[in-house]
Amino acid sequence: MAAPLYFCISHQQPEWPLPDFLTVVGSGSYVPPQGLALSQLCPELAFQNEHLGEFAAMFAIRRMLVDVPPNHLVGVCHYRRFVLTQPLGQLRGFNCYAHPSLLARARPEHFFGDASRIIVPLRVSFPGSVLRQYAAVAEARDLLMYFGAAIDAGVVDQNDVADFLSQNCWMPACTAAYIPAGWFCSLMDKVEAATRQFMQTVHIERPGRQKRNAGFAAERFYSMLLQQKLDEYGWDDVITVPMTMLTDDGARD
């Protein structure tokens, strides 16, 4: 069995130890002591995390996978978010919230199982549509314009967009997953094309947390694309788990 490829995205030095098999990818100006710094490898992407969040690193990881066999499973996580076959902490809503000290209990097989099955976060149903859920926490205009940009970029069909934005189910934080490299590369190509079109044509700079509106919209778009792949592949062969979120007020045992 080939060694697991598992990337962990972070914009700062984590205050807790990460498993040795994770390759830390530092976005912005963060240079991991042992890992990859986007400011050195992909300076054109490194500081786009201000607008794109972890998708700046996702686009860079896609470039790193150019020679990886398409069926080889690849993991991506965030230094606070993990898809583990045995989630840590306490289930609240659709996530498990754990104190960072619990990460030491996670074994390698909790990250990638036997390295033969896809692992993704749960699909979550909300009281309203995907569009309505977004409008409750951000500017609906940005999501609509982003998906319009994806259509203009030629990477998605408008009927698929209409269906997705009208449904009430999607996969929050789906950037954390363990999926085939071929899937990751093809989906990131589409997300990057849509994001580029959005940023170059209809993006509006927002204050505060909403400065990352392109990243928030890209998360929904990536969820749509990943769900389509999983629908074709078959959910019965996929491991779906609650996201493990590390928080200072998370459960300690």
pLDDT given at position 245? 97
Nearest to 222 by CA among 158, 172, 148: 172
pLDDT given at position 138? 96
pLDDT given at position 3? 56
pLDDT tens over the chain, length 253 residues: 455 799 999 999 999 999 999 999 999 999 999 899 999 999 999 999 999 999 999 999 999 999 999 999 999 999 999 999 999 999 999 999 999 999 999 999 999 999 999 999 999 999 999 999 999 999 999 999 999 999 999 999 999 999 999 999 999 999 999 999 999 999 999 999 999 999 999 999 999 999 999 999 999 999 999 999 999 999 999 999 999 999 999 888 6
Query: Residue 207: inside a domain, yes or no?
Result: yes
Number of domains in the chain: 1
pLDDT given at position 252? 82
CA max distance for the chain: 49
pLDDT given at position 251? 81
Query: Residue 224: inside a domain, yes or no?
Result: yes
- 125 lies in which domain range? 5-246
Predicted TM-score (pTM) of this structure: 0.96
Query: Residue 169: inside a domain, yes or no?
Result: yes
Q: Residue 50 burial (CB < 10 Å; 0-12/13-18/19+)?
A: middle
CA atoms of 36 and 44, how far apart (whole Å): 15
- Mapped onto helix, strand or coil, the DSSP state of residue 98 is strand
Query: Residue 48: inside a domain, yes or no?
Result: yes
How do 124-125 and 169-170 pair as beta strands? antiparallel
CA atoms of 107 and 88, how far apart (whole Å): 11
Q: State the Cα angle at 8 between 217 and 213, rounded to 5°.
A: 15
Cα separations in angstroms, 35 against 52, 101, 106, 180, 252: 21, 22, 20, 22, 28
Residue 82 bridge partners (DSSP)? 244
CA atoms of 216 and 209, how far apart (whole Å): 10
Instruction: Using the structure block, give the residue that is written with the tokens 């976060």.
Output: 121
Query: Residue 32: inside a domain, yes or no?
Result: yes
pLDDT given at position 250? 86
